[in-house]
Amino acid sequence: MKLKQLSFMIVGFVLIALVNLFVDISAMGITLAIAVVGGQYSPSMQVFRINLEKKVGKEVWWKGRLSQLTAFIDYEKFKTTGVVGSVKNSSALEASIIHMVRDFVSKKGIKIDIPLRRPLTGQGRIGTAPLSGTGEKRKMFYLKCAINMRRHAVQTRDNEMSEQVLDEAIAMDMLESGATDLKDWFSRLMPFEFLKAIFVGYSENLYDSSWGLGYSMKSHPNFFVQAYTGGLNGGGQIPFKSADGTHVAYTFDSGYEVNCATGLATLTDTSACYFSTQSIRNIVFLASKNKIQFIKKGAYEVLPILVTSAHIRQLRLDEDWKNAMYYAYGTGKDNPIFTGAMETYIYENAMLIVDDTLPSAFLTGDSEFSTTYSTNGLSTGIQYGRGSDYMETPRDGGSRKAAVALGVGAIIAAEGKGFLLTQETADHGQKIEDGGRMIYGAQRADIIDDDNQLGNGANLFYDNQSSLVYWTFSPDSFAI
């Protein structure tokens, strides 16, 4: 064997060993170098691509803000034993707001069943009263989470001659930077998909009118507007009932969207509509009233509430908040009042998590409003977020912002097939494009009585005991 060929083989085997050694590293920003031998990809390239695909797929799910509050349901164990629990090394169900199923072998189409068992609600029997024949019917729901494909591509070479002006190492990095870019893109996309599920019911790949599944967007059933007196029982909640109080079927329709828009339109630049400590107390009370289950966080049971820095800016003007910070932290240099820290505050059993990608609500008359992106395609609907450019401009800057309370299992998600990395070449390698795809779905944990088992009519909304949205006037802009 020629010495040159032997050298190439040794380099190839060394690279394979290095790839296998480092593939499980999940630290962000690590990119393994690609060896180019004699102008051609080394024998280890195929192994590298396979391992890179696995690494990227893992990081896509775990890089998001809510990753530590995500539980992966052990679906195989559930199907064989009926026991619902999370997989090893995953967050426990009772400590998670996102419950996700990975079913890579399902042959059942585009919907994956996610189990949800409701607690017993009967009164039982007292003393020696007969127990036989009085058993309560167990309410076992399967929330069907649909899945759909999402793809994105990045051009890593537009023309080989363009690389002539670049350093060789930079040109090599460009050829393999597509995987890193796609990992970053998908990891930033997934939190948006979870937020969309909360605000409009489903992730975008399910309600997209062109290539999605055609699902209809629907505002949250637990919809509260601060200082709004026209809500249910005067308490600011947008009802599923007509103005005269006559019971109407609980269904998501244009009338409900109009009611939500009417409530949001009452938010004005007045202190009564600002976010405050009273807002937090209201949210915690409303969550308890709606049987939203708090998550276990260490020794505490807390209610995670997503807020924006605009909420926090208003909160810092609240005297009760300032006093609480003084009493809790003292007046030293580490006090958040002085440091400006605003991550994961715990106050009144609420755990405030600052996330400036929360979408605002836009109505008719707002420059950002478009019926294309509204919940019902009408001028009386609501548009959550800017529309099509949220990846480019993740903070939309609207004034009507929601604090989002998330209890156990607030979002259900499913993955039919994991992340796949592909590469396409054209014009004899002059143009190279990396592509990534995932098959997944996310939706709000609304319980729909699709079979009329509960006796309130088929395909009607039953309840949501997992989350709520609480709207205030909390603008990004302010006078100096």
What pLDDT, on the 0 to 100 scale, is given for residue 279? 96
What pLDDT, on the 0 to 100 scale, is given for residue 419? 78
Helix (H) or strand (E) holding 189: helix 168-200
* Average pLDDT of the chain, as a whole number: 76
Tell me, what DSSP letter sits at residue 171?
Answer: H
Least Cα distance to 18 among 3, 5, 35, 4 occurs for 35
249-268 average pLDDT score: 88
Residues 80-113 pLDDT 10s: 766 677 777 677 788 888 888 877 666 567 888 7
- In which residue are the tokens 């409303």 written? 286
Residues 398-440 pLDDT 10s: 999 999 999 998 999 888 887 788 878 887 777 878 888 889 9
Residues 439-459 pLDDT 10s: 999 999 988 776 666 666 666
pLDDT band at 232 (very low <50, low <70, confident <90, very high): confident
Q: What residues pair up with 415 in beta bridges, in sequence order?
A: 102, 440
pLDDT of 256 higher than 70: yes
Phi, psi of 277 (to 5 degrees): -65, -30
Distance in angstroms (rounded) separating the CA atoms of residues 86 and 99? 9
Distance in angstroms (rounded) separating the CA atoms of residues 52 and 29? 13
Do residues 441 and 206 lie in contact, with contact meaning Cβ atoms separated by under 8 Å? yes
199-228 average pLDDT score: 93
What pLDDT, on the 0 to 100 scale, is given for residue 461? 79
pLDDT band at 275 (very low <50, low <70, confident <90, very high): very high
pLDDT of 386 higher than 70: yes
173-187 average pLDDT score: 73
pLDDT band at 306 (very low <50, low <70, confident <90, very high): very high
Q: Which is more confidently placed, 145 or 200?
A: 200
Helices (H), 403-476: none
> Which of 110-119, 121-130, 382-391, 422-431 has the highest average model confidence (pLDDT)?
382-391
Q: Where are the domains of the chain?
A: 218-413+457-473
pLDDT band at 16 (very low <50, low <70, confident <90, very high): very low
224-238 average pLDDT score: 86
**Which amino acid, one-letter code, is at 63?**
K
- In which residue are the tokens 């002539």 written? 164
